[in-house]
C-alpha cells in the first residue's frame, strides 16, 4: 500500500470576507493543501497560530486589532513564528520590509494566480523562501540606515503605478521571471519596466533604484 502524504496545513488570516472565502475556494482545488483554520484579525491569528500550529500562515499585512507585522512580532516574542507568507495589495504597504525582517518568508499579491499561490505555499512549507536572503537584508539595511544618495536626475520623472510595483518587487529580490509570475505578465514586459524605472530615476542599476525609491517615498 502506498504511503499517504501528509497535507500542508494552512492558516488563512484575512479580514475581508470575500477575499478570504475566495482563497479558501482556490486552495480546496489543491489536494496536498488543507485550510486548517481562518482568522479575521490579528488577535485571532495569534490564538490560531498557538492552537492549530499550522505549517504555513497566509497573513494579510493590514488587519484589525493587530496588523500583520504586529502578529509576527508577538509570535516571535512567544517563540512560535510559523513559516509565513504576507498577503499584500501594495497600496501603501510600508510595513512590508519590517514584516520580512520580523520573520516572514516572502509576500504575495492578493490577485496572485492559483499556480503561484500553491507553489509558494509548498516552497515555504518545505523550508524555502520567496525572497533571496542577501537581497532582503540589503533592502532592510537600506530602509533602516542613513539615506544614501547616488547620481540621478535632479527632478526624477514619476513612476507609473505598475512601475512602482515592479520596483518594490525587484527591491525585495525577485527575478524578472518571478515578477512576471506575480503580476501576470511576460518576462520581456518586466524587463521593459525595469529599463524605464532606471531611466526615470536616473540611476545605473537596481540597487541604486531601490535606494532612490526609498528616498522618494515609493516604499
Q: Which of 201, 200, 215 is nearest to 142 (CA)?
A: 215
121 assigned to some structural domain: yes
Predicted confidence band of residue 212 (pLDDT cuts 50, 70, 90): confident
123 and 147 inside one domain: no
Q: What is the mean pLDDT of residues 193-209?
A: 88
Query: What pLDDT shows up at residue 9?
Result: 97
- pTM greater than 0.85 (yes/no): no
- 83/182: higher pLDDT: 83
Per-residue confidence at 63, pLDDT binned at 50, 70, 90?
Answer: very high
Domain range enclosing 203: 134-215
pLDDT in tens, 71-112: 999 999 998 889 999 887 755 455 677 787 788 888 787 777
The three grid cell numbers given for residue 81, joined into one nine-digit string: 513564528
Distance from C-alpha of 66 to C-alpha of 200, rounded to nearest angstrom: 37
What length does the chain have?
219
* 1, part of any domain: no
Examine residue 69 and state whether it is found in any structural domain, yes or no.
Answer: yes
What sign does the CA torsion over 137, 140, 142, 144 have? negative
- pLDDT score for 29: 93
Check whether residue 143 and residue 195 sit in a common domain.
yes
pLDDT tier, 152 (very low <50, low <70, confident <90, very high otherwise): very low
Q: Is residue 3 part of a domain?
A: no
Q: Kindly state whether residues 13 and 108 are assigned to the same domain.
A: yes
Average pLDDT over the chain reads 82
Of 130, 157, 191, the residue that ends a domain is: 130
The verdict on residue 25 lying in a domain is yes
How far CA 59 is from CA of 28, 81, 156, 203, in Å, comes to 18, 12, 35, 34
Q: What is the CATH number of the domain that holds 145?
A: 3.40.50.2300
- The conformational region for residue 193 under phi > 0 = left, psi -120 to 50 = alpha, else beta, is alpha
Based on the fold, state whether residues 63 and 147 are members of the same structural domain: no
How do beta strands 84-88 and 106-109 pair? Answer: parallel
Are residue 194 and residue 113 in the same domain, yes or no? Answer: no
**Same-domain status, 125 and 26:** yes
Amino acid at each position: 500500500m502506498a504511503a499517504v502524504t501528509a497535507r500542508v496545513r494552512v492558516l488563512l488570516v484575512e479580514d475581508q470576507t470575500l477575499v478570504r472565502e475566495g482563497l479558501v475556494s482556490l486552495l480546496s482545488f489543491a489536494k496536498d493543501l488543507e485550510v486548517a483554520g481562518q482568522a479575521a484579525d490579528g488577535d485571532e491569528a495569534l490564538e490560531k497560530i498557538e492552537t492549530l500550529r499550522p505549517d504555513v500562515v497566509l497573513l494579510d499585512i493590514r488587519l484589525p486589532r493587530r496588523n500583520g507585522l504586529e502578529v509576527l512580532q508577538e509570535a516571535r516574542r512567544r517563540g512560535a513564528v510559523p513559516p509565513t507568507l504576507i498577503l499584500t495589495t501594495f497600496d501603501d504597504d510600508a510595513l512590508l520590509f519590517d514584516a520580512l525582517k520580523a520573520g516572514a518568508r516572502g509576500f504575495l499579491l492578493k490577485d496572485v494566480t492559483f499556480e503561484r499561490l500553491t507553489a509558494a505555499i509548498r516552497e515555504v512549507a518545505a523550508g524555502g523562501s520567496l525572497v533571496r536572503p542577501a537581497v532582503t537584508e540589503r533592502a532592510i539595511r537600506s530602509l533602516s540606515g542613513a539615506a544614501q544618495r547616488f547620481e540621478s536626475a535632479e527632478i526624477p520623472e514619476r513612476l507609473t503605478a505598475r512601475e512602482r510595483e515592479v520596483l518594490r518587487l525587484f527591491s525585495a529580490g525577485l527575478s524578472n521571471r518571478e515578477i512576471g509570475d506575480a503580476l501576470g505578465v511576460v518576462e520581456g514586459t518586466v524587463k521593459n519596466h525595469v529599463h524605464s524605472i532606471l531611466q526615470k530615476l536616473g540611476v545605473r542599476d537596481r540597487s541604486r533604484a531601490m535606494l532612490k525609491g526609498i528616498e522618494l517615498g515609493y516604499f
